Amino acid sequence: MTDLQIRKIPFAFDETVPFQWHPTNPDFAFLTNAIGVLAIAFERYIVTVMKRAKRVIDDPDIAAEADAFMQQEAIHARAHRLHIDALVRRYPGLRSTLDAAIARFDALLDVHPLNFHLGYIASLEATFTPFFKMLIDNRDKLFTPGDPRVASLFMWHFVEEIEHRSSALIIFNAVVRDPWYRLRVTWQVRTHVYGIVFDIFKHFEEVVPAADRGVAPKSPPPAPSGWRKLLARLGPVRPPRPRNPADEAFRDIPRWDLVVSSFRILLSQFPHHNPANEPLPAFARTWFEAYDRGEDMTVFVGSPRAPARAAV
């Protein structure tokens, strides 16, 4: 049977929660706010797919895993919705940002079979442990300086994603029974997720005033050299690359941590990858032990000194 724990943490957000919740790394705040929107849409999608998968699962242990996985993800989505709803009260246009992300996942449900959806979820979930380990291991730079309400929300989410790191693959293997199928859909998954994330970035830039985003606009590219001008005339015209806050969000992270995380994300997409064998952040155990002691996990990380800009 599954050993996942269902934790209902009473996160609370109001209009004092700033969009720019990290005073020293605005790009990281911008990026994680986008992850929050993506999480609501993706985890809503997970719940729908798990309900469909349970209709074809005969093993009670696998069904229990699907139930616990679905419950954790549904609770994550509800908590992130509280955060985004607080931001929507200040920036009403963000409602359409969330609606658009949800619609992109709803469209997938209409055109693909169950095997694809399980492959999508297993492929994306496999990347989370190496990525979130890198974030958690560098929490002193990425979380500690930030607003404790938002920092603690993301820390809770990320450690629970690591806790259920094997769930999606267990369910995928039980239903699809083809370890190569997940690799075959990996590129579609990457393209779909990146498309949603960059749309969220664009919506943020349209809806949230620049002063509140706290993220400098992309600097203009340097003037092209003579040979680059010639190549541009001979080749196809490429659209400018969308601004990616991740380019700067991890500027203070040791390069080796980024390399290891990227390498393990790549390995996670191959058949026979076992998330249970992934190295884990030591702080995850610290978080779970603090929760078991009854500490207030709604403000467990972050800095109370982080500025909270009141609504006007």
> Which has the closest alpha carbon to 82: 27, 28, 25, 157?
157
How many beta carbons lie within 10 A of that of residue 169, not counting itself?
A: 22
Compute the Cα dihedral for 183, 247, 264, 123 and give only its sign. negative
The amino acid sitting at 7 is R
The amino acid sitting at 43 is E
Indicate the DSSP class of residue 274: -
Q: What is the pLDDT of residue 206?
A: 93
Distance CA 201, CA 43 (A): 19
Is pLDDT at 311 greater than 60 in this prediction? no
Mean confidence (pLDDT) of the chain: 90
Is pLDDT at 244 greater than 80 in this prediction? no
Enter the pTM of the model.
Answer: 0.88
Distance CA 12, CA 78 (A): 11
> What average pLDDT does range 126-142 have in this prediction?
97
Q: What is the CATH number of domain 26-215+253-299?
A: 1.10.620
Domain ranges of the chain: 26-215+253-299
In angstroms, what CA-CA distances link 286 with 8, 141, 159, 292, 293? 18, 18, 10, 10, 11
Torsion of CA 156, 168, 138, 283, to 10 degrees: 60
pLDDT above 70 coverage of the chain, percent: 88
Contact predicate 115/108, CB 8 Å: no
Name the helix (H) or strand (E) containing 291: helix 282-293
